[in-house]
């Protein structure tokens, strides 16, 4: 994954983390892990986190990246062990923007629940 795509993907998960108005410590830890995994520098990461509330969702070009982004959004939403109604609605909006329906989102949510047990 090239740096621009990694930054876009990271910006999208930051936007999901901030969707409820607060980035929790658990969300921040996951963001830090993803930043390391993507090889992003600290300045880029901090700039994105600082501007979390104004970030716009960027739609990836291929199916694998779309699926990855939806999975990351669900994972971020469920970091506290459950997906709250507001978080689910955000994930549904993301799914729809990525070209997926609610049935597919529910499938990803169920898979994530199984994997987190």
What contacts 51, CB < 8 A, 6 or more positions away? Answer: none
Compare 101 and 78 and report the one with higher pLDDT.
101
Residue 101 has pLDDT above 90, yes or no: yes
What contacts 81, CB < 8 A, 6 or more positions away? Answer: 116
pLDDT at 79: 81
The number of distinct structural domains making up the chain is: 1
Whole domain around residue 9: which residue ranges? 3-116
How far, in Å, CA of 27 to CA of 53, rounded? 15
Q: What is the CATH number of the domain that holds 39?
A: 1.10.3680.10
pLDDT at 64: 92
The per-residue pLDDT for range 54-91, each reduced to its tens digit, is: 887 788 888 998 999 899 889 888 887 788 888 888 88
The per-residue pLDDT for range 8-58, each reduced to its tens digit, is: 888 888 887 887 778 888 888 888 888 998 899 989 889 998 998 888 778
How far, in Å, CA of 92 to CA of 87, rounded? 9
The overall pTM is greater than 0.85:
no
């Amino acid at each position: 994954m090239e740096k621009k795509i990694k930054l876009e993907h990271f910006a999208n998960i930051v936007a999901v983390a901030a969707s409820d108005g607060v980035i929790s410590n658990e969300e921040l830890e996951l963001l830090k892990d993803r930043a390391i995994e993507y090889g992003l520098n600290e300045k880029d990461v901090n700039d994105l986190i600082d501007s979390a509330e104004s970030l716009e969702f960027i739609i990836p070009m291929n199916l694998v990246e779309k699926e990855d982004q939806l999975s990351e959004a669900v994972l971020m939403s469920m970091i506290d062990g459950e997906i709250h109604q507001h978080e689910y609605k955000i994930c549904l909006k993301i799914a729809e923007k990525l070209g997926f329906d609610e049935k597919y989102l529910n499938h990803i949510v169920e898979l994530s629940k199984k994997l987190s047990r």
